[in-house]
């Protein structure tokens, strides 16, 4: 014997379908899959990053390192993905609701991550400087615009 169709359940299903479909559509037009990658295009998706992206493209680092190679901690799978999600959601939030300053500034956490990445890649010839007198130097203090101009 067939169970009678629960109309409410059906309505729920339809609604859920709409929501789910809308979600998939939104995810696609927002290039959601791109956000899962390490491609610089993902960051440049928000056009407040256009200037940074353009200057990175013209600089030396663009042939070897993209945004996440410097801005996210490497060699630590867990830290990499949690920070990627954290930054992505935070940037997405401010881009959506507004309130970005005209000139961006790295947060202290990012500053440290970038610095560590400088030291990792350039360790062959930077190891003296980075452990100079036992205190780590701040690469970015002098090399401010080596990755891209600072806005």
Nearer to other proteins, 28 or 57 (CB): 28
Q: What 8-state DSSP symbol labels residue 135?
A: S
Query: What residues contact residue 66 under an 8 Å CB cut-off, 6+ apart?
Result: 38, 39, 40
Nearer to other proteins, 12 or 34 (CB): 12
Residue 144 Cβ vs other proteins, minimum distance, rounded to whole Å:
6
Residue 23 Cβ vs other proteins, minimum distance, rounded to whole Å:
5
Query: 80 with 37: CB under 8 angstroms?
Result: no
Residue 149 Cβ vs other proteins, minimum distance, rounded to whole Å:
10
Judged by the rule CB under 8 A, the positions of this chain that interact with other proteins are: 6, 8-9, 11-12, 15-16, 18-19, 22-23, 25-26, 29-30, 46-48, 50, 95-96, 100-103, 105, 144, 150-151
Q: Give the C-alpha distances (Å, rounded to integers) separating 51 from 2, 11, 24, 76, 111.
A: 63, 47, 30, 29, 19
Nearer to other proteins, 16 or 132 (CB): 16
Query: 88 with 35: CB under 8 angstroms?
Result: yes
Cα 49–chain centre separation: 11
Nearer to other proteins, 131 or 144 (CB): 144
């Amino acid at each position: 014997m067939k169970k009678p169709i629960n109309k409410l359940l059906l309505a729920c299903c339809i609604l859920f379908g709409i929501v789910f479909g809308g979600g998939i559509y939104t995810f696609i037009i927002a290039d959601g899959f791109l956000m899962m990658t390490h491609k610089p295009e993902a960051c440049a998706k928000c056009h407040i990053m256009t200037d940074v992206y353009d200057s990175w493209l013209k600089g030396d680092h663009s042939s070897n390192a993209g945004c996440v190679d410097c801005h996210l901690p490497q060699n630590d799978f867990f830290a990499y993905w949690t920070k990627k999600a954290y930054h992505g959601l935070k940037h997405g939030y401010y881009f959506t609701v507004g309130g970005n300053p005209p000139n961006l500034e790295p947060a202290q956490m990012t500053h440290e991550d970038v610095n560590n990445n400088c030291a990792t890649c350039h360790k062959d010839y930077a190891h003296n400087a980075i452990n100079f007198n036992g205190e780590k130097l701040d690469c970015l203090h002098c090399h401010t615009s080596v990755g891209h101009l600072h806005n």
